[in-house]
Structures are given as C-alpha cells and as structure tokens.
C-alpha cells in the first residue's frame, strides 16, 4: 500500500504560491485567524496554520476572544476585522460558542475574504460549479491530494462517508466537477459496509475514531482519511483503522501527516488568490 503523505503535496502547493507572490510584487497578503475560546483542537489547528503560512512567506495575525463573549460583542469585533483593509483573508475557527449565531457570521463575512468557503455566496458557487468562489479548504485538499498523486478521478466510483457542509457536501460537488460518480453516505445509510466496499476512492469524513476498518474497504481502493480524532489512549487518529486496511487498499492517507498538511497549504493558496 502506498502512503499518501501531505508534506509532498504541500511542497508542490508552496511552489505555486510563491510564483503567485512574485506576480503580486507587493507586501505579502495577511490572514486573520479568528478564534473564540480555548478549545484544544482549535489551538492546534491555529498553531499549524500560522506555522505553515509563515513558512510560505505570508503574514498571519490571530484574533482571540473569550469563550463567554456575547453575540453582540463578537459581531462588533468580527465587523472590524472583516472591514479592515489590511486583512486579505479570514479563517474563522468553528464551531462557535452557542450564544453566538453562526449563521449571522456566515452571512456577514466578505465573500472575497472568506477563505474557507463558509459564506452563502461561496457555498452557492461551489454547488453551481463556479470556480471563482472559495471551496472549504479541507474539501479542496482531498482533490489536491488525488491530483498530486496522479490518481484518476474522472469516471471513478467515489464514496464519501459524512455529509457535513464542511467536507461531505462541498467535496461531493468538487468531485462531480471532476466527473466522478459520487455516493454520499451517513449514519442512516443502510448496508454502509457494502456501499463503501464498492468505492474505487473512499473518503472518510464521519468524525468517528477508527470507524472504517478493512470490512469497509474494497480491494485496491484509494482511501482518503479526513478525520482528526483522539483515540482511547489519547493518540491522534483518523476515521480509518489505518493498520487494518494495509493489505487491501492500493493507497491511503495517514493521520497525522495526511490531509491536514494539505488543508493548511490550500488555505495559503486561497489567501494569495484573494490578494490577486
């Protein structure tokens, strides 16, 4: 089984980003990362994103607000960042605390700064196949991973386990745009194992540690694991039981070291696109 490593794909995207930066020929664009509270997974993602963007020669600033900030206060703070001419792009770490209306923020964000595709305008563009919008970074990272490893998508049977607006649904649209035949599965899918085994490309985005083992994987399938979970021993793991599929799968992404590294590289790519 071939292990699909994110670092190699990230390095290719870095080259593309740096060529685009030369085209810009001005001060490096700036990303604003907005975080509310001290969730460990948010902090971990923020740390990784800051490190990656700085290594790409981009600017980053974190805007951190207390967990208990009111809806009204947060909207006022968000508006300042959203309207700041020095901010080229915005990454909002979600989910937000329950007192903040996330839908309102999705409607507020400037679509041209919305690097993770959360605004209704960008999401509509993704579903319409309009490539001028920003797709969610993780969904786009899956396509980047497949293409960088010369894995054919056109005409292939792809099964996605997970139907969120962060990965499952937008990814299905991106893959349809690449002429794949896409099945989206979820918790109420009957015969889930059977559906997954049919796939030539299987994408795990269920958010459940080690949920998919060898019984879900067909012979010579390509397995893309989007999940980031912590197992019972406190170790970082994906949605796929990586060890159990090695004799079946043709290729698979590890966790950590797989899609996560590509996601932050796509974020950098989107930031330069926003600047251009």
Lowest model confidence (mean pLDDT) among 34-38, 44-48, 115-119, 249-253: 44-48
Q: What is the CATH number of the domain that holds 59?
A: 3.40.50.10860
Going by C-beta distance under 8 Å and a sequence separation of 6 or more, which residues neighbour residue 89?
Answer: 29, 30, 31, 32, 113, 114, 115, 270, 271, 274, 275
The per-residue pLDDT for range 69-107, each reduced to its tens digit, is 999 999 999 999 999 999 999 999 999 999 999 999 999
Query: 3: pLDDT confidence band, cut at 50, 70 and 90?
Result: very high
For residues 98 and 202, state if they share a domain.
no
For residues 150 and 71, state if they share a domain.
no
From first CA to last CA, the distance across the chain in angstroms is: 40
Residue pair 235/264 in contact (Cβ under 8 Å)? The answer is: no
Domain that holds residue 61: 27-112
Pull the structure tokens for residue 94: 């979600």
Name the pTM for this structure: 0.96
Number of structural domains in the chain: 2
For residues 94 and 34, state if they share a domain.
yes
For residues 107 and 218, state if they share a domain.
no
Residue pair 175/158 in contact (Cβ under 8 Å)? The answer is: yes
**CB burial string 153-180: b at 16+ within 10 A, e below:** beebebbbbbbbebbbbbbbbbbeebeb
**Sole residue written with tokens 């397995």:** 223
- 195, part of any domain: yes
Supply the pLDDT for residue 146: 98
- 126, part of any domain: no
Q: What is the CATH number of the domain that holds 210?
A: 3.40.50.720
- 188, part of any domain: yes
Domain boundary, last residue among 95, 112, 129 = 112
């Amino acid at each position: 089984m071939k292990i699909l490593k994110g670092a190699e794909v990230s390095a290719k995207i870095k080259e593309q980003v740096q060529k685009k930066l030369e085209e810009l020929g001005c001060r490096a664009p700036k990303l604003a990362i907005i975080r509310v509270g001290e969730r460990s997974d948010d902090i971990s993602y923020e740390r990784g994103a800051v490190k990656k963007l700085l290594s790409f020669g981009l600017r980053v600033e974190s805007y951190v607000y207390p967990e208990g900030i009111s809806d009204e206060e947060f909207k006022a703070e968000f508006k300042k960042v959203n309207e700041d001419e020095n901010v080229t792009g915005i990454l909002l770490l979600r989910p937000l605390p329950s007192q903040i209306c996330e839908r309102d923020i999705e409607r507020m964000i400037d679509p041209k700064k919305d690097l993770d595709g959360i605004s209704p305008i960008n999401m509509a563009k993704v579903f319409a196949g309009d490539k001028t919008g920003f797709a969610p970074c993780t969904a786009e990272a899956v396509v980047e991973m497949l293409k960088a490893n010369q894995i054919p998508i056109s005409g292939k049977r792809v099964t996605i386990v997970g139907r969120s607006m962060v990965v499952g649904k937008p990814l299905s649209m991106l893959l349809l745009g690449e002429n794949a035949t896409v099945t989206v599965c979820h918790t109420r899918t009957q015969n889930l194992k059977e559906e997954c085994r049919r796939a030539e490309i299987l994408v795990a985005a269920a958010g459940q540690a080690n949920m998919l083992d060898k019984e879900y994987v067909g012979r010579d399938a390509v397995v893309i694991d989007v999940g980031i979970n912590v197992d019972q021993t406190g170790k970082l793991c994906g949605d796929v039981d990586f060890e159990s599929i090695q004799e079946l799968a043709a290729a698979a992404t590890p966790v950590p070291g797989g899609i996560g590294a590509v996601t932050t590289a796509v974020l950098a790519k989107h930031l330069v696109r926003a600047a251009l």
